[in-house]
Amino acid sequence: MKYILLVTATLITCTLANAQDNLIQYVNPLIGTHKMGHTYPGATVPFGMVQLSPETDTIPYEIDNHYNPLVYKYCAGYQYDDPTIVGFSHTHFSGTGHSDLGDFLIMPTVGKLQLNPGTEQNPRSGFRSSFSHSNETASPNYYRVKLDEGNIVAELTTSNRVGFHQYTFPEGGQAHIIFDLMYGIYNYTDKNVWTFVRVENDTLITGYRQTNGWARTRTVYFAMTFSKPIQQYGMKDFSNPHVYKGFWRKFDQSKNFPEAAGEQIRMYFDFNTTAGEKIKVKVALSPVSTVGALQNMQAEIPHWDFARAKQAGQDLWEKELQRVRIKTTSPDEMMNFYTALYHTFLGPTTYMDSNGQYRGLDQNNHMATNFTNYTTFSLWDTYRALHPLFNIIQPGRNSDMIQSMLAHYDQSVHKMLPVWSHHANENWCMIGYHSASVVADAVVKGTFRGDAMHALEACIATSRHGSYDGLEYYMKSGFVPEDKSGSSVSKTLEYAYDDWAIAQMAKKLNREDIYTQYMKRAQNWKNVYDASIGYMRPRLSDGSFRKEFDVLSTHGQGFIEGNAWNYSLYVPQDPEQMIVVMGGKKRFVQHLDSLFTMNLPDEFFAHTEDITRDGIIGNYVHGNEPAHHVAYLYNWTDQPWKTQERVRMILKRQYHPAPDGLGGNDDCGQMSAWYIFTSLGFYPVAPGSDQYSLGSPMVQSAMLSLENGKTFEIVAVNQSDKNVYVQKVVLNDQLLTRRYLTHDDIAKGGRVVFYMGSKPRR
């Protein structure tokens, strides 16, 4: 595959000294584009509002009013194994286990006009086209593919809020550009609430679409302009017939009529082309208005120079990737690392116009004052490593993300911080109130630049909202009863961790009353531990443990995306006490060893959408986030060398430079952030603490360029695939006698040296 970087180890070694001059060459956006990766290979800039990518099918969310399990593969719209492309849409999620978006699909065609997508088996029956990976190229802010059916070359690039298409047509004649406002990811018949389009003149189209999906009230505005005048145009409304049709029926709205409205609309625009002619299309988005979309286009790409727009976006990627510069002898590790870093900078995404206006949670328009408003907060995933990574290498952005969360809180009728939010909507996906963790981590580490007392108030209010997901029982009894609220053990454990995070923030802000109260709540994890079996176990509202219980099953046992083996280790805020409760260090090490070496029969994850055998090592499920800290728990025992051994094994087995190269969903960058931290040699086991637990660096060296102007250097002496064991660690020329770095160690700048060997230092 020619888009994969193939170089020798010697070449990597020789050129890494100059790698900072061209890091995007090591990024492969096709990693994780099928199986459980759920990423997409299209064009975007860092944290861009427009994420422009090909769609490879039109799988519906439901069939005969029932969920269609095939749709799960299409969370990102693109499946590497598919042989056809149906078009290119402008909004996507990266690596999520549920989905939405896929707005404003565009597809170029020639020949007979067709306004249906056709089928994979017979692409010529519609406007879709077959394609070959040998004619496909993906790199940061650029995607190129040859569409075989029309012999059309499609190229995509972007700015923050504008998608830029360039289509090269093969021969003279009539070309069509299909504009599909019906298409969506996780689509179903009534997902489109309403669509409105205006043909303003012979090159400019404006309008909006409102959808009811994961975000139940989502409106996206657009402005689309062509590089040459439209010859003719038309539309077809696929909506179910309405009893009331008004007096619009006096017009023939199907052809050259400048206004269209309905739930299910596809449009076409025709052009006379010559051989080799390029038709360019710019599509600007806005959360506020079509005027906002036009202003975004004028502010970001006022010209028609495709190469210039592409280069501008790639320059942005180069700047962001240079925040971490590594050296290694392995081309696979270089590609894994910088593709992972690329993934971590895909989201959260910008959600405001270039003038600062954005649509708020209250569905009113607001102005972001002194911050960039962001959306796409997959917090159950990203609180673990993505936001802590930002606190080191993107603290300014992370502070703005917290300001965006606080704006969400201020606009919320529930007075709650986001749980899983996007595009001015709370979708309530997953559990916990992990925005509290993100806020606390930034406050404790001193990177939040806003009103910290207001942030604490928001966290407290969120944690006291009794109607939310079993929280009233948790506050009353100290645990969530399984007979009152499902996934009760997971909720209890995660609420307890979040409460601990709130306590740390309160302590930082000298609120001893809140600190004392929430440290007490943080002990609630003990209430779901059954000492008689040595596992966390669901309890019922009468206080008893549920009798029917299977420690290996992931369904109906009180857990979400995990089983008792994995979730019983989820006490990141207090590993020392957890180890005591579970029988002491010796017994705990045996338990951890068994987790990584036992066999988990297929029956225990056969019906789990987001996990396959690829994401499992023994019974350790790396493909789901609750276990991401587990390999580091050996650091609280007498055998820390096993952390070093395990993390290097996970890096090798769960990450590969291939389309199926991720062992689970990337989940908006969390899987990739784990890779970045672990490759560098440390990990935030408990965000909200200022400590990073030490592991075993896979890089030979790394340089972190910090926003305060300082640098932090990581060196691994004698590092190799064999030498995974740390013999000693030296921080700023002083022997480090603890098993962690602090945030201050990094933020002040300096140098940490790991001395590696082939045998454990016992």
Residue carrying the six token digits 């959260």: 348
For 292, the token pair is 């906002």
Residue carrying the six token digits 């090592």: 617
For 366, the token pair is 């607001």
Residue carrying the six token digits 């990094």: 746
Backbone conformation region of residue 217, classed left if phi is above 0, alpha if psi is from -120 to 50, else beta: beta
How does strand 278-286 pair with strand 218-226? antiparallel
pLDDT tens-digit map of 410-419: 999 999 999 9
Mean pLDDT of 592-601: 94
DSSP, residue by residue, 426-490: E---SSS-THHHHHHHHHHHT---S-HHHHHHHHHHHHT-TTSTTHHHHHHHSS--TTTSSSHHH
Q: Residue 36 has what pLDDT? A: 83
Q: Residue 241 has what pLDDT? A: 86
Residue type, 688: G
Check pLDDT > 80 for residue 6: no
- Return d(Cα 52, Cα 597) in angstroms, integer: 42
Check pLDDT > 60 for residue 293: yes
Tell me, yes or no, if the pTM score tops 0.85: yes
Q: Residue 4 has what pLDDT? A: 32
Mean pLDDT of 328-350: 97
31-317: which CATH topology?
Beta-galactosidase; Chain A, domain 5 (2.70.98)
CA 520 to chain centre: 33
Q: Residue 83 has what pLDDT? A: 98
- Return d(Cα 212, Cα 192) in angstroms, integer: 6
- Return d(Cα 45, Cα 142) in angstroms, integer: 10
Average pLDDT across the chain, whole number: 95
The answer to whether residues 72 and 117 touch, using CB atoms and an 8 Å cutoff, is no
Residue carrying the six token digits 């932090």: 712
pLDDT tens-digit map of 537-584: 999 999 999 999 999 999 999 999 999 999 999 999 999 999 999 999
Domain-wise residue ranges, the chain: 31-317
Residue carrying the six token digits 């860092």: 46
| Phi, psi angles (nearest 5°) of residue 175 | -110, 150
- Return d(Cα 53, Cα 34) in angstroms, integer: 14
Residue type, 17: A
Check pLDDT > 90 for residue 762: no
- Return d(Cα 557, Cα 559) in angstroms, integer: 6
Q: Residue 10 has what pLDDT? A: 30
Q: Does residue 256 or residue 249 have the better pLDDT?
A: 256
Mean pLDDT of 75-97: 97
Mean pLDDT of 651-679: 96
Neighbours of 527 (CB within 10 A): 18
Query: With bands split at pLDDT 50, 70 and 90, how would you rate the model's confidence at 363?
Result: very high
Tell which residue, 161, 153, 203, 204, has the closest CA to residue 44: 161
Check pLDDT > 60 for residue 18: no
Q: Residue 610 has what pLDDT? A: 76
The answer to whether residues 225 and 106 touch, using CB atoms and an 8 Å cutoff, is no
pLDDT tens-digit map of 422-464: 999 999 999 999 999 999 999 999 999 999 999 999 999 999 9
Mean pLDDT of 34-62: 95
DSSP, residue by residue, 36-77: T-----SB--TT-S--BEEE----BSEETTEE-GGGGGGTTS
Neighbours of 312 (CB within 10 A): 17
For 314, the token pair is 């790639």
For 124, the token pair is 């010529």
List the single range of 226-235, 253-262, 594-603 with lowest mean pLDDT.
Answer: 594-603
Using only C-alpha atoms, the chain has a radius of gyration, in whole angstroms, of 26
- Return d(Cα 751, Cα 181) in angstroms, integer: 53
User: HEC states along 74-95?
Assistant: HCCCCCCCCCEECEEECCCCCC
Q: Which residues pair with 63 in a beta bridge?
A: 66
DSSP three-state, residue 303: coil
For 681, the token pair is 């040699």
DSSP three-state, residue 358: strand
List the single range of 3-12, 222-231, 398-407, 747-756 with lowest mean pLDDT.
Answer: 3-12
DSSP, residue by residue, 520-571: HHGGGGGGGEETTTTEE--B-TTSPBPSS--SS--SSSS-SSS-HHHHTT--
Check pLDDT > 80 for residue 5: no
DSSP three-state, residue 492: helix
Q: Residue 704 has what pLDDT? A: 98
Query: With bands split at pLDDT 50, 70 and 90, how would you rate the model's confidence at 606?
Result: confident
Check pLDDT > 50 for residue 694: yes
Check pLDDT > 90 for residue 608: no
List the single range of 30-39, 89-98, 218-227, 315-324 with lowest mean pLDDT.
Answer: 30-39
- Return d(Cα 11, Cα 435) in angstroms, integer: 44
Q: Residue 288 has what pLDDT? A: 98
For 121, the token pair is 């088996």
Residue carrying the six token digits 């569905």: 363
DSSP three-state, residue 345: coil
Q: Residue 611 has what pLDDT? A: 77
Tell which residue, 454, 539, 453, 450, has the closest CA to residue 492: 539
Mean pLDDT of 119-145: 97
pLDDT tens-digit map of 222-247: 999 999 999 999 999 999 888 888 89
β-sheet with 691-694: strand ranges across? 682-683, 691-694, 740-742
Q: Residue 242 has what pLDDT? A: 86
Q: What stretch of H or E contains 290?
A: helix 290-300
E-strand ranges in 558-657 read 616-617, 620-621
Mean pLDDT of 607-630: 89
pLDDT tens-digit map of 644-656: 999 999 999 999 9
β-sheet with 377-378: strand ranges across? 377-378, 420-422, 425-426
- Return d(Cα 242, Cα 244) in angstroms, integer: 5
Residue 298 DSSP code: H
Neighbours of 749 (CB within 10 A): 15
pLDDT tens-digit map of 269-292: 999 999 999 999 999 999 999 999
Check pLDDT > 50 for residue 346: yes
Query: With bands split at pLDDT 50, 70 and 90, how would you rate the model's confidence at 604?
Result: confident
Check pLDDT > 50 for residue 13: no
